[in-house]
Amino acid sequence: MNLPRLLSIGEFAAATQLSLKALRLYDEQQLLRPARIDSGSGYRYYRRDQVPLGRLIRTLRDMSLPLADIARIAVAEGVAAERLLSQFAGDLDLRYAREKRAFQRALLLLRGASRAEALTVGERKRPAMTVVVRPFLADRAHLHERMRAQVAAARAALKQAGLDALAESYCRLTEPLSDEEGEVELLSPIEATASVPQELTFRHLPAASCAVISTSGLSLQGAEFSAAFDAMFDWFDRHGYRAIDVPWLSHTGSGAESSAELLWAYEPGPGSTR
């Protein structure tokens, strides 16, 4: 019985459109192993039924997927492989959208323009308050979604403790928002109380002067969020103020019915106009 002829690495490269260098790398990474390696010459040989896998790997590399993700798809089967591919494609779409927004923002900065000019910064005296604090993790893309979930959980916990939230909750941005998860805090204002349930964390905050940006129909996400920070920094500079603490963000509604508010406490600086 004649065994099927193996393909040389050159033939396999031509059939899959993978370079010899890439094939050697995939062998080292155990992603696409040759069927046989000649012990004398070191030449690699492949089976014909390995061609579809080689073509799949080449196509996934065209998607700029890392080898670790390609390996996960290659070893998965059927629906599981398709589910992974869809997940990675979604990640690529998000990355492209983020990079596109960054490009547009960079273009505006190069032209000396700023979307911050369209946002109005006001002033507000934030009263002293007692808040219930709920830390949670969020990244830039999922902040509003996770904040809504935390608000619902906070209201349920307050109700169980016999307390009521006095106003909209705020998200205190303890760490700068980025593509990686960072810690933020949900602050829910309540009436000052001498009875503190052990399961809740309370914090008493002093009154503060705040710069505020309020929007309607915007969620202050992505470029809008960056523009809001630009507007506040410009406003602080013009008035000679110094930002203190970290920004607070509130968000209600969704779509055209959404509204957001960004507050940042400040104090007079050396060059203050007041």
pLDDT 10s digits, 149-198: 998 888 888 888 888 777 788 999 888 777 778 889 999 998 876 566 67
Same-domain pairing of 53 and 174: no
128: Cβ contacts below 8 Å, ≥ 6 apart: 204, 205, 206, 207
Q: Which of 25-29, 104-108, 180-184, 230-234 has the highest mean pLDDT?
A: 25-29
Residue 92 located in a structural domain: no
Q: Which amino acid is at 164?
A: D
231: Cβ contacts below 8 Å, ≥ 6 apart: 116, 117, 119, 120, 121, 213
CA dist 155 and 167 (Å) reads 11
Same-domain pairing of 47 and 158: no
Which tokens belong to 271?
Answer: 């060059």
Same-domain pairing of 25 and 133: no
Same-domain pairing of 52 and 157: no
Q: What is the CATH number of the domain that holds 69?
A: 1.10.1660.10
Average pLDDT over residues 235-264: 80
**This model's pTM is above 0.75:** no
- Give the total number of structural domains in the chain: 2
Decide if 237 contacts 194 (C-beta within 8 A).
no
pLDDT tens-digit map of 50-101? 999 999 999 999 888 888 899 999 888 889 999 999 988 888 877 776 677 6
pLDDT tens-digit map of 217-248? 555 555 567 777 878 888 888 888 888 888 89
Q: What is the CATH number of the domain that holds 209?
A: 3.20.80.10
- What residue numbers bound the domain in which 53 lies? 7-75
Q: Cβ atoms within 10 A of the Cβ of 26, count?
A: 22
Q: Where on the phi/psi map is residue 263: left (φ > 0), alpha (ψ -120 to 50), or beta?
A: beta
Question: Can you tell me which residue has the tokens 């070893």?
Answer: 75
Of 41, 75, 109, the position where a domain reaches its end is 75
Residue 107 located in a structural domain: no
Q: What is the pLDDT of residue 53?
A: 92
Backbone angles phi, psi at 133, to 5 degrees: -110, 130
Q: Which amino acid is at 178?
A: S
